[in-house]
Amino acid sequence: MSANALYQPSEAFVKNANVSGMAAYEALCKEAETDYQGYWGRLAKELITWKTPFTKVLDESNAPFFKWFEDGTLNVSYNCLDRNIEKGLGDKTAIIFEADGGEVTKVTYSQLLAKTCQYANALKSLGIKKGDRVVIYISMSIEGVAAMQACARIGATHSVVFGGFSAQSLRDRIEDTGAVAVITADNQVRGGKLLPLKSIVDEAIALGGCEAIKNVLVVKRSGADIAMTAGRDLWMADVADQQATTCEPEWVGAEHPLFLLYTSGSTGKPKGVQHSTGGYLLHAALTTKWTFDLKADDVFWCTADIGWVTGHTYITYGPLALGGTEIVFEGVPTYPDAGRFWKMIQDHKVSIFYTAPTAIRSLIKAAEANDAVHPKSYNLSSLRLLGSVGEPINPAAWEWYHQHVGGSRCPIVDTFWQTETGGHMITPLPGVTPMVPGSCTLPFPGIQAAIVSETGDDMPNGQGGILVVKRPWPSMIRNIWGDPERFKKSYYPEDFKGKYYLAGDGAIRDEKTGYFTITGRIDDVLNVSGHRMGTMEIESALVSCTELVAEAAVVGRPDDTTGEAICAFVVLKRALPNTDEGKAIAKQLRDHIAKEIGPIAKPKDIRFGENLPKTRSGKIMRRLLRSLAKGEEITQDISTLENPAILGQLGQAY
């Protein structure tokens, strides 16, 4: 089929789907349009068990600080665990955990509740209470999910920091949240390698600014020797094992902050995206039900890490809120070989599989080079639905995923959303939407996505523009932790008359179908392998290497595997290096960035020049840098360049 062909979901799929057929989708959209509050209120009653019911759905009086279901009270962990057990699912498997080395551990809903309660009681025994922040720095594990659920149970706000972030990044987040405790593990294991966690927490705290931390709770993963600071550090087992396996949930208001999750913006330090309890849980459950069509006998696998929002919504909360069975995977897709995902789908009879385009692209390469790791060498007949997230999926990767992983029978949901949106915003519904490779198709029912001009006016279909959401929705970001001004400026800027949520992406709608295609960020945010990074953050990390770097500019360039690649242009304090020196300095700079931010922020290309190309007023010519990064011919006007020779210098990438 050609790249813009429509793929219809099969009749059998449509027949059994949780949302079945275009008419059902249109009816939901219509319901939302005619009675916005009634629509969300109805769903909030259907999907969530409230301790005290809400009397008002949406409060817009202090826009853009919207409030949803404000006077309702609930507990997320009650909704994810106890409630399912009360429905008779106590012995149902909640999580199938597969370790890096392949060992499998399963926990039932009753067992996960018992562990969550012990963790919750452990936190309480240390004086941690509702409203306190707890940082979680742990790899993929049942314990990680239980730690998040335990925080939710006692009303503590968690902030999970991805295990690949450096001590410096972890420190920044601990400080910004004012967390009173960190939950971590001695080590993490990825791709057969033992990597540190606890020692990085020690380093982070030693950097200063983490004075609010009273305790570090350490889950035993490897059992390797680690340092424990007396009076501060405790083994989780020593505190939790003796605790009761029941714990009365703390009933919190719907607007209580369930979690903070840091993400990159175009300027400044990463921002602490604050999410709510009620509205967030509603959308987590609803999108899992409608976009993933989750049913009682499904085995659901979202390959994201709990350190990212995808892992929050589609591992820790959504599937559990619906009583589903899910996979939690500790390892990496390429260990022990690039057939790992396919083998796990076969072994656990996974029926719904959700991953990122970057993973698909790297597995395509591996499969094309070696039949043994090609999906055709595995039995993937259990699959009935596939998903994609994090970045645009190129049509070729879509087609391969559809044909070779989905056996040409599974719909693919290309889900567009963001850390800030809490859950899916624009996505096919698998029993509804004819699919077009590379398009995230249509808004989720009730989401008022639109494309506008720079002044906030609607753009006709067929003309690209700026992606906005016209009305608030339940799972939207509530604030940037501690910085309401930045929240307003970033998401409800004056340019759009302060009315619309600004996603930060460009998009275009198809003239015929009205389908959305995301055209990429309109700010200085890069998306590398689905990881979001600000160019400024990387520039700051580079210039913080004060002994070497005088000035730096970072841009993105397209990359076949990672979507975008980081390209850094650096002016050194010393003379221009020769090739060998250049290699050594580039390595030094990459190591420095890994220390400042984390290995995911290492530039793919580093280029050196005696200066950076600037306009007469001294502004760095970023468009020119982007052309250089792509290896394009320079068509921009360079007559203002003081020293055109630097273009030659900047041509060599290390």
Are 148 and 104 in contact by the 8 Å Cβ rule? The answer is no
Q: Does 613 bind ligand WT7 (CB under 6 A)?
A: no
**Three-state secondary-structure class, residue 438:** coil
367 versus 412: smaller Cβ distance to ligand WT7: 412
Span of 192-200, 526-534, 623-631, 637-645 interacting with ligand WT7 by CB under 6 A: 526-534
Concatenating the DSSP letter of every residue in 148-190 gives: HHHHHHHTPEEEE--TTS-HHHHHHHHHHHT-SEEEEESEEEE
Query: Min. distance of Cβ 283 from ligand WT7 in angstroms?
Result: 13
As given in the structure block, the two tokens for residue 320 are 């559990």
Are 415 and 388 in contact by the 8 Å Cβ rule? The answer is yes
233 versus 564: smaller Cβ distance to ligand WT7: 564
Q: For the window 254-283, what string marks contact with ligand WT7 as x by the rule CB under 6 A?
A: ---------x--------------------
Q: Does 416 bind ligand WT7 (CB under 6 A)?
A: yes
Among residue numbers 426 through 445, which ones bind ligand WT7 (CB under 6 A)?
440
**Single-letter code of the amino acid located at 172:** D
336 versus 434: smaller Cβ distance to ligand WT7: 434
Q: Annotated binding residue at 540?
A: no
Q: Which of 260, 309, 624, 641 binds ligand WT7 (CB under 6 A)?
A: 309
| Number of residues counted as binding ligand WT7 (CB under 6 A) | 22
Span of 101-109, 394-402, 408-416, 624-632 interacting with ligand WT7 by CB under 6 A: 408-416
Are 371 and 341 in contact by the 8 Å Cβ rule? The answer is no
Q: Annotated binding residue at 529?
A: yes
Q: Which of 202, 233, 305, 391 binds ligand WT7 (CB under 6 A)?
A: 391
Are 524 and 490 in contact by the 8 Å Cβ rule? The answer is no
As given in the structure block, the two tokens for residue 617 are 């007023």
Query: Min. distance of Cβ 393 from ligand WT7 in angstroms?
Result: 7
Look at strands 157-160 and 181-185 and give their pairing: unpaired
Sheet containing strand 271-275, edge to edge, reads: 233-235, 215-219, 181-185, 133-137, 157-160, 259-263, 271-275, 479-480
Query: Min. distance of Cβ 267 from ligand WT7 in angstroms?
Result: 16
Helix axes 142-154, 109-125, angle to 10 degrees: 60
Give 261's strand partners. 273
Q: Does 556 bind ligand WT7 (CB under 6 A)?
A: no
- H or E element, residue 264: none
64 versus 392: smaller Cβ distance to ligand WT7: 392
Q: Does 385 bind ligand WT7 (CB under 6 A)?
A: no
Q: Annotated binding residue at 473?
A: no
317 versus 417: smaller Cβ distance to ligand WT7: 417
Q: Annotated binding residue at 55?
A: no
User: Side-chain half-sphere of 423: how many Cα atoms within 13 Å?
Assistant: 29
Q: Which of 109, 280, 290, 417 binds ligand WT7 (CB under 6 A)?
A: 417
Q: Annotated binding residue at 418?
A: yes
Query: Min. distance of Cβ 430 from ligand WT7 in angstroms?
Result: 15
- Which of 86, 646, 609 is CA-nearest to residue 323? 86
Query: Min. distance of Cβ 420 from ligand WT7 in angstroms?
Result: 7
Q: Annotated binding residue at 419?
A: yes
Instruction: Please write down the HEC assignment for all residues of 560-573.
Output: CCCEEEEEEEEEEC
Q: Does 215 bind ligand WT7 (CB under 6 A)?
A: no
Query: Min. distance of Cβ 131 from ligand WT7 in angstroms?
Result: 25
As given in the structure block, the two tokens for residue 83 are 């409630």
**Single-letter code of the amino acid located at 508:** I
Q: Does 595 bind ligand WT7 (CB under 6 A)?
A: no
Span of 173-181, 280-288, 389-397, 615-623 interacting with ligand WT7 by CB under 6 A: 389-397
Q: What are the φ and ψ backbone dihedral angles of 183, each rounded to 5 degrees?
A: -105, 125
Q: Annotated binding residue at 214?
A: no
Q: Which of 414, 537, 539, 564 binds ligand WT7 (CB under 6 A)?
A: 414
Among residue numbers 457 through 516, which ones bind ligand WT7 (CB under 6 A)?
503-505
Q: Annotated binding residue at 417?
A: yes
Among residue numbers 329 through 358, which ones bind ligand WT7 (CB under 6 A)?
none
As given in the structure block, the two tokens for residue 624 are 């020119």
Are 492 and 498 in contact by the 8 Å Cβ rule? The answer is yes
Alpha helices by DSSP H, 78-108: 83-84
Q: Annotated binding residue at 310?
A: yes
Q: State the Cα–Cα distance between residues 611 and 641, nearest whole angstrom.
A: 10
User: Which sign does the torsion angle of CA 145, 440, 68, 498 carry?
Assistant: positive
164 versus 504: smaller Cβ distance to ligand WT7: 504
Look at strands 549-559 and 563-572 and give their pairing: antiparallel
Query: Min. distance of Cβ 418 from ligand WT7 in angstroms?
Result: 4
Q: Annotated binding residue at 342?
A: no
Are 625 and 553 in contact by the 8 Å Cβ rule? The answer is yes
Extract the annotated binding site for Mg(2+): 543, 549
- Give binding residues as ranges: 190-193, 310, 390-392, 414-419, 505, 521, 529, 532, 543, 549
Positions that interact with ligand WT7 (CB under 6 A): 263, 309-310, 389-392, 414-419, 440, 503-505, 518, 521, 527, 530, 532
Q: Which residues participate in the annotated binding site for ATP?
A: 390-392, 414-419, 505, 521, 532
